[in-house]
Structure 1
């Protein structure tokens, strides 16, 4: 990071940052109804995501699968990831609304927060439509996770609201940067990934700024508490992204597939790759403590 970048980070206020983000939103935002070619036929041989991002890529089971099974699996996997994204974006919108409740609507922070909510509504709609076009059934995280998340979205405040948001978006960002360029990936996934990457880059900058701002005068107990909450949220998100049901729906032996995915060293490496920038940020904020490291390691984020 340059000296100028560090100086800006240290002196810029939330309103400075959100003013720039509002300008970016005005200049570059997308309407998925226009940008995505929803009616264009889906080639039978195109994957739902780059094969390298499949949970089974690099396993013996993957080598045994037919090309038709590989295509089907990646379409179910991307559908599961998108529907986990929808579930999480609905939580995100409630967290932001709670955080911005009764704040000054004249501030650029308030205006960008509502702009982000509008973006997330569009993203959820385009993910839902993608799953419909691909013929993907409903996938949800485990019921216990869904119910436990009700507590987070009800009590999360300040950095505790924006931390889980950042974690989810950082993981998806690296994946989708590959998907949007994948020539053998179905066009609607490439297009929706591009939209999500461009617009979520602003959301991630907003979340980072809010987290830094909230932690400026935080004591040790609060920082440790937030570090633990971030880690638990990361564990939940990483564990819920791909439902075990995708394997059965792709015509595979579910238990064998789950076991091979769990021990897949290639998948573990790809997961760690997608979390490099996130871990650097958390460490910089003092949120990657010795107590929470094992949680991140358990889901291959470190």
Structure 2
């Protein structure tokens, strides 16, 4: 199913696109200049704010030693970054497809290539961070990986940019907390700062694209798009922290999975991180009853 060929769209505001391009020129980072990849990790610091751990506040967390907590958060952040690499690879494919027939001299085309360049740098810095953390190469489950392969080959229009937006919005709130965490590894704080600053532009562009693609569409198309975006969001959230992280740090796997699944503290953090996203989806007419059920299933709503 292909949604909305490009020649049926209105042209995005060139002034806004030029502002994004100017911002990218003035405020972008080179991770290799910001991070000392050879410096030893601080053994006392977490991979992410302890409050963002999937087990924080559970009975198992209270039984864990400080070393286990630090190790768990490092594997959790490595899993989240690995999921980020997976999804950034997918979204680059989506953006390239959307621009395949675009005017090559246009500001939208130039912005799209700028965003892809940003995503390549982000994936490289996430990859280097995971290697420095010496964490396992976490991947989505095989069936999710294959569903995403289908999505990147058939999605278009507001579905493409809706999927991009939900993934980036969820990570944005997490990383804003991580970059302020004095007990978080410097490497994670710096990568979070870079990602937050540069993804703010990407999210603005995604919102612009979604609104543009939805102008004058039928109610049926809007419902279908809302459902596909919500389905993609649920898979992204479920795959962010691999179930393998628990055994990899010496925790009882099944007990850890059960306690994480029932962790209301983490559920509340997820809902908090999605407030602005849900507001936007509602305004865009993409928060249908069917989509809301899916978001609630992963505590995004």
Q: What TM bracket, shorter-length normalisation? A: over 0.9
2:91 corresponds to? 92
Q: Is the 8 A contact 2:278 2:287 kept in 1?
A: yes
Secondary structure of the structure 2 residue equivalent to 1:96: helix
Counterpart CA distance in 2 for 1:72 and 1:49 is 10
2:267 corresponds to? 268
Q: How does 1:10-89 map to 2 (within 5 A)?
A: 13-89=12-88
- 1:235-288 CA-to-partner distances (Å, cap 9, x unmatched) read 000100000000000110000000000000000000001101100000000000
* Post-superposition offset of 1:45: 1.1
Q: Is the 8 A contact 2:129 2:187 kept in 1?
A: yes
- Shift of the 110–12 alpha-carbon distance from structure 1 to 2, 3 Å rule, reads closer
Q: Is the 8 A contact 2:88 2:123 kept in 1?
A: yes
**Count of matched residue positions in the alignment of Structure 1 and Structure 2:** 292
* Post-superposition offset of 1:12: 9.7
Counterpart CA distance in 2 for 1:14 and 1:95 is 21
* TM-score for both structures, normalised by structure 1: 0.95
* Post-superposition offset of 1:213: 0.3
1:291 corresponds to? 290
1:223 corresponds to? 222
Q: How does 1:103-114 map to 2 (within 5 A)?
A: 103-114=102-113
1:191 corresponds to? 190
Counterpart CA distance in 1 for 2:138 and 2:12 is 40
Q: Is the 8 A contact 2:157 2:210 kept in 1?
A: yes
Secondary structure of the structure 1 residue equivalent to 2:290: coil
* TM-score for both structures, normalised by structure 2: 0.96
Counterpart CA distance in 2 for 1:233 and 1:284 is 19
1:153 corresponds to? 152
Unaligned runs of 5+ in 1: 1-10
Counterpart CA distance in 2 for 1:22 and 1:89 is 20
1:6 corresponds to? none
Counterpart CA distance in 2 for 1:106 and 1:282 is 31
Counterpart CA distance in 1 for 2:97 and 2:11 is 24
Q: Is the 8 A contact 1:95 1:153 kept in 2?
A: yes
Q: Is the 8 A contact 1:48 1:78 kept in 2?
A: yes
Q: Is the 8 A contact 1:15 1:108 kept in 2?
A: yes
Counterpart CA distance in 1 for 2:178 and 2:267 is 18
Q: Is the 8 A contact 2:12 2:108 kept in 1?
A: no
Unaligned runs of 5+ in 2: 1-9
* Post-superposition offset of 1:13: 3.6
Counterpart CA distance in 1 for 2:276 and 2:60 is 31
